[in-house]
Amino acid sequence: MPVEPIYSVLIRGGRWMRLGLMIDRRRFLQGTTLWALGPIIGHAACEDVVSRFDDNSTAEEVTLGLDLRGKTALVTGVNSGIGYETMRVLALRGAHVLGTARTEEKGRVACNSVAGETTPLVLELSDFHSVAACADRVRAMGVEIDVLVCNAGAIFSELQQIGGLEAHFVVNHLGHFVLVNRLLEQVIAAPQGRVVMVGSRAHRSAPEEGIRFDDLSGTSWFDRGAAYGHSKLANGLHSLELTRRLEGSRATTNVVHPGVVRTNIARNLPRWQQAAFRLYGRFFVKSIEEGAATTCYVATHPDLESVSGCYFSDSNPATPSPNMQDAEMAFRLWEVSENLTRDYLLEAQLLPI
């Protein structure tokens, strides 16, 4: 995947100063003068949306009685774990689920193993060409997207880079950033389109200052789990800025923490860490059925039709870190992400500031 060196991208067009460390504050303030209070106001509104579900609820329980026939959902990473269970339950309730996996075979096997209408798609989040191709195939179907679940992700035990950028940031954030932007027209066209970002409480492990925009290569990110935390903070900030840009439409976006779930996301960690997770995890981790509950709740529940810009855990609103509520950081991340992936975005799909 060709990616320009980070610093040349950040200073392109004169938008950035000192290797991308300064945003054009005048441009930001012009677009967000009153919205700067949004995280405070929005968070209060989020707290009012309380459900009867909890950490023991399952995806089937939170969707019981819902009829999703006629709706189309796209879920990334359906070949295992939370993504598979999300696909299974949404299809069980009648939705047509477009399920992505890294290979055609994995997607086909997963989709064929569940009841209901499903369509497998190939999506490799580390390769923006693959992301664009996947989105183009969906656009060619001519369907509205009622639910877009950005679920797939990865954890690495040591520094890896893709095109000079830290791998968590590319796979967990930028890949989904391209996918969401290329499919926004389909989401907005739906009667009430929803984007669900699967984040994590691990966003709190990001550095105290938040996203380290001056080191997107990730060389300083592997202290105290900060690398994975960076990408999960990015998921939340992506949703926050997308909330603002969707104002005036019927579409919504929210971020969820599924909990610590018994999945294979730790497959890239050293074997001793995987063994420790399996050994001690049984005392505190959720089952996959429980782990997919919050995603399915936020993706489908009628009570959330007008709820956007919130953070959910255990199928209820939760309080994210102050960084995840930082409107200026969210705006800056969007600008940086847009510059890094511009060759893979559709100009007509870029939402106005």
pLDDT band at 29 (very low <50, low <70, confident <90, very high): very low
pLDDT one-digit tens code per residue, 113-172: 999 999 999 999 999 999 999 999 999 999 999 999 999 999 888 899 999 999 999 999
Question: Using CA atoms, how far apart are residues 40 and 322, in angstroms rounded to an integer?
Answer: 10
SS3 category, 196 = strand
Higher pLDDT, 99 or 201: 99
pLDDT at 280: 43
User: Which band of pLDDT confidence, cut at 50, 70 and 90, is reported for residue 269?
Assistant: very low
Of 109-113, 143-147, 204-208, 300-304, the poorest mean pLDDT is in 204-208
Nearest of 172, 195, 139 to residue 309 by alpha carbon: 195
Instruction: Render pLDDT for 218-242 as a digit per residue (tens, 0 to 9).
Output: 998 876 568 889 999 999 999 999 9
Rounded to the nearest integer, the mean pLDDT of the chain is 84
Percent of the chain having pLDDT more than 90?
A: 69
| Predicted confidence (pLDDT) at residue 311 exceeds the cutoff of 80 | yes
What would the two tokens of residue 48 be? 């009012």
- With 60 as the cut, is the pLDDT of residue 40 above it? no
Q: At what angle do helices 175-189 and 226-245 cross, to 10 degrees?
A: 30
Share of the chain above pLDDT 70, in %: 78
Confidence category of residue 296, pLDDT binned at 50, 70, 90: very high
pLDDT for position 157: 81
Closest CA to 119 of 146, 92, 94, 98: 98
Domain spans in the chain, listed from the N-terminal domain onward: 6-345
Q: In Å, how far from its chain's centre is CA 119?
A: 21
Q: Does an H or E element contain 238, and which?
A: helix 226-245
Alpha-carbon span 97 to 199, nearest angstrom: 21
For residue 57, pLDDT over 90 is answered with: yes
Residues taking part in catalysis: 228
Residue 276 has pLDDT above 60, yes or no: no
Weakest mean pLDDT among 19-28, 67-76, 78-87, 271-280: 19-28
Predicted local confidence at residue 37, as pLDDT? 35
Q: Residue 134: name the closest of 186, 194, 90 by CA.
A: 186
- Report the pLDDT value the prediction gives residue 226, as an integer from 0 to 100: 83
* Per-residue model confidence (pLDDT) at position 286: 84
pTM attached to this predicted model: 0.83
Domain 6-345 listed as CATH 3.40.50.720: yes
Q: What pLDDT, in 10s, does the model give residues 327-346?
A: 999 999 999 999 999 999 98
